[in-house]
Amino acid sequence: ANSFGIELALKQLGIKSLNDGSSTGINSFSNGAILESYSPVDGKLIASVKTTSESDYEKVMKTATDAFKIFKLMPAPQRGEMVRQFGDKLRKNKEALGKLVSYEMGKSLQEGYGEVQEMIDICDFAVGLSRQLHGLTMHSERLNHRMYEQYHPLGIVGIISAFNFPVAVWSWNTALAWICGDVCVWKPSEKTPLCGIACQNIIAEVIKENNLPEGISCLINGDYKVGELMTNDKRIPLISATGSTRMGKIVAQNVAARLGKSLLELGGNNAIIVTPDADIKMTVIGAVFGAVGTAGQRCTSTRRLIIHESIYDKLKEALARAYGQLKIGNPLDEKNHVGPLIDWQAVEMYSKALEKVVAEGGKIIVPGGVLSGDDYQSGCYVKPAIAEAENSFEIVQHETFAPILYLLKYSGSVENAIEIQNGVVQGLSSAIMTNNLREAELFLSVSGSDCGIANVNIGTSGAEIGGAFGGEKETGGGRESGSDAWKVYMRRQTNTINYSTSLPLAQGIKFDL
């Protein structure tokens, strides 16, 4: 069978053991239980990893603490130079790493490469930013005083990431954290540990070549229990956690209990509003890519289409036709559009959701189903499905991480559609398809979408790194990546300097001795 060059990719990325079930021994600190990584593409064991025990964790934290003492003193543009070199290494490893992402996580090869490209882009962004960590200056109310603010590094940043973006989310955090002078401890998803090891191997080379302390980038492996070592650890001032809302609620409480900071990137329930003035062709492309891309396993995947009644039937038919063209199969084969779900639990949740929408009174338009046979041996391949539903259905209110698209009908003005769009607990991404300026502006206004991301004539998924990424409500409120998201990785200090010969007090208070 064609293995699409996976063995070579693994070799290039320093992942030693393939299909033999033995420990890779790559993560030199790890002595915990063995974690096996199976590919959802063909169901094969890729390699095994040792997880991080509590005593390993203490060693990692010591390395990170020691590294911070040195790294925080390095001028920010020099830290930027380290990130520039990291971006260069990623360019060299783009093909291999993209392939591993596709093989271990199951997204299409193009999306795997796209994810590595995002890492390269955030490195470029961070390099520029390393000379722009600007604070403001203010005019003091006191004579011959100067007042300004500056940003200092925070310390150790703990990163907890989800399986669906197994490499990019880490780099959104680390590239910024590093130029800010922080060191990072990363716990990738237990479903994609090899992606974590590959990334760590790439940055470890850069660190070594520059004679920098190894603790600038640390990797720990394991499930939520290993994650909780970090969330409860007061030596970690910031926890950046990406994953389900269920996880975010636990992490937020643990971190808040010690008054740490958390940056939360949690679940979405993203909708596209389609008004009578929409371009139907563009809508179909945006909606289909949004709903079936990454097999519906993006936090920004399109889950709901809110369609005006006047164009409802036309769009429904166009979508059904487009779904009929979709090719489902091995994501490493570029002729396929849709790859597998991450594991059998995800398949089970997908099947249950389809049963539930029918039980609640919904109607299946494009039927789903689990695929079997030679090409689908992992058992993780499912058919993208479409169902007519109501926004009030419990299943529609819930984020099912699978390619299921709900069609919701609205009548009257766009305000009604906006109310449906906002009528869920999540607030990540949203979009409107319209050529009507009033509708578009209303959607972006204070009376419009309540999400962190609101697009016009674009779908809900596929954000660029230049903007701040994240969402409101149960999506957690965090912002990562572009714009001024870097500020969360630093502590702000306000400084006032008196260069007069007296000591005037603020607010004109007199204190004569």
CA torsion angle for 252, 256, 261, 263 (degrees, to 10)? Answer: 10
CB 260 within 8 A of CB 237: yes
User: Given candidates 111, 265, 439, 474, which one binds ligand NAD under the rule CB under 6 A?
Assistant: 265
CA-to-CA distance for 98 and 181, rounded, in angstroms?
Answer: 28
What kind and span of H or E run contains 160? Answer: strand 156-160
Q: Is 247 in the site for ligand NAD (CB under 6 A)?
A: yes
User: Given candidates 475, 477, 481, 485, which one binds ligand NAD under the rule CB under 6 A?
Assistant: 475
- Supply the angle between the helices 109-129 and 94-105 in degrees, to the nearest 10: 130
Q: Is 118 in the site for ligand NAD (CB under 6 A)?
A: no
Nearest distance from C-beta of residue 300 to ligand NAD, angstroms: 8
Catalytic residue among 190, 265, 439, 480: 265
Q: Is 170 in the site for ligand NAD (CB under 6 A)?
A: no
Nearest distance from C-beta of residue 350 to ligand NAD, angstroms: 13
3-state secondary structure of 407: strand
Q: Footprint of ligand NAD on residues 187-226 (CB under 6 A)?
A: 187, 189-190, 223-224
Q: How many CB atoms lie within 10 A of CB 1?
A: 6
Q: Is 290 in the site for ligand NAD (CB under 6 A)?
A: no
Q: Is 267 in the site for ligand NAD (CB under 6 A)?
A: yes
CA-to-CA distance for 282 and 279, rounded, in angstroms?
Answer: 6
Q: Is 250 in the site for ligand NAD (CB under 6 A)?
A: yes
Q: Is 451 in the site for ligand NAD (CB under 6 A)?
A: no
CB 408 within 8 A of CB 305: yes
CB 65 within 8 A of CB 213: no
Strand partners, 429: 453
Q: Among 77, 51, 333, 86, which residue's Cα sits nearest to residue 197?
A: 51
User: Given candidates 109, 176, 299, 424, which one binds ligand NAD under the rule CB under 6 A?
Assistant: 299
CB nearer ligand NAD, residue 41 or residue 230: 230
Task: For residue 360, give both structure tokens.
Answer: 């609640």
CA-to-CA distance for 130 and 128, rounded, in angstroms?
Answer: 5
Greatest Cα-to-Cα distance within the chain, rounded to the nearest angstrom: 90
CB nearer ligand NAD, residue 169 or residue 284: 169
Q: Footprint of ligand NAD on residues 175-194 (CB under 6 A)?
A: 187, 189-190
CB nearer ligand NAD, residue 215 or residue 243: 243
CB nearer ligand NAD, residue 17 or residue 269: 269
Nearest distance from C-beta of residue 229 to ligand NAD, angstroms: 9
Geometric angle at alpha carbon 232, from 226 and 236, rounded to 5°: 95
Q: Is 244 in the site for ligand NAD (CB under 6 A)?
A: yes
Task: For residue 24, give both structure tokens.
Answer: 């890779």
Which one of 20-28, 118-126, 199-207, 259-267 is the stretch in contact with ligand NAD (CB under 6 A)?
Answer: 259-267
CB nearer ligand NAD, residue 356 or residue 398: 398
Task: Indicate if 415 belongs to the active site.
Answer: no
Q: Residue 112 class from Cβ within 10 Å (0-12 exposed, 13-18 middle, 19+ buried)?
A: buried
CB 219 within 8 A of CB 64: no
Which one of 5-13, 17-25, 157-165, 303-311 is the stretch in contact with ligand NAD (CB under 6 A)?
Answer: 157-165
Strand partners, 498: 145
User: Given candidates 68, 165, 178, 393, which one binds ligand NAD under the rule CB under 6 A?
Assistant: 165
User: Given candidates 80, 87, 243, 296, which one binds ligand NAD under the rule CB under 6 A?
Assistant: 243
Q: Is 408 in the site for ligand NAD (CB under 6 A)?
A: no
Q: Is 353 in the site for ligand NAD (CB under 6 A)?
A: no
Nearest distance from C-beta of residue 248 to ligand NAD, angstroms: 7
User: Given candidates 80, 181, 227, 482, which one binds ligand NAD under the rule CB under 6 A?
Assistant: 227
Q: Is 266 in the site for ligand NAD (CB under 6 A)?
A: yes
Task: For residue 404, give both structure tokens.
Answer: 């299921």
Token look-up 């099912």 returns: 400
CB nearer ligand NAD, residue 255 or residue 278: 255
Q: Is 162 in the site for ligand NAD (CB under 6 A)?
A: yes
CB 262 within 8 A of CB 251: yes
3-state secondary structure of 38: strand
CB nearer ligand NAD, residue 85 or residue 475: 475
Phi and psi of 359, rounded to 5°?
-60, -30
Q: Among 387, 323, 376, 325, which residue's Cα sits nearest to residue 354?
A: 387
Q: Give the footprint of ligand NAD on this chain (CB under 6 A).
A: 160-165, 187, 189-190, 223-224, 227-228, 231, 242-244, 247, 250-251, 265-268, 299, 399, 401, 428, 471, 475
- Enumerate the active-site residues: 265
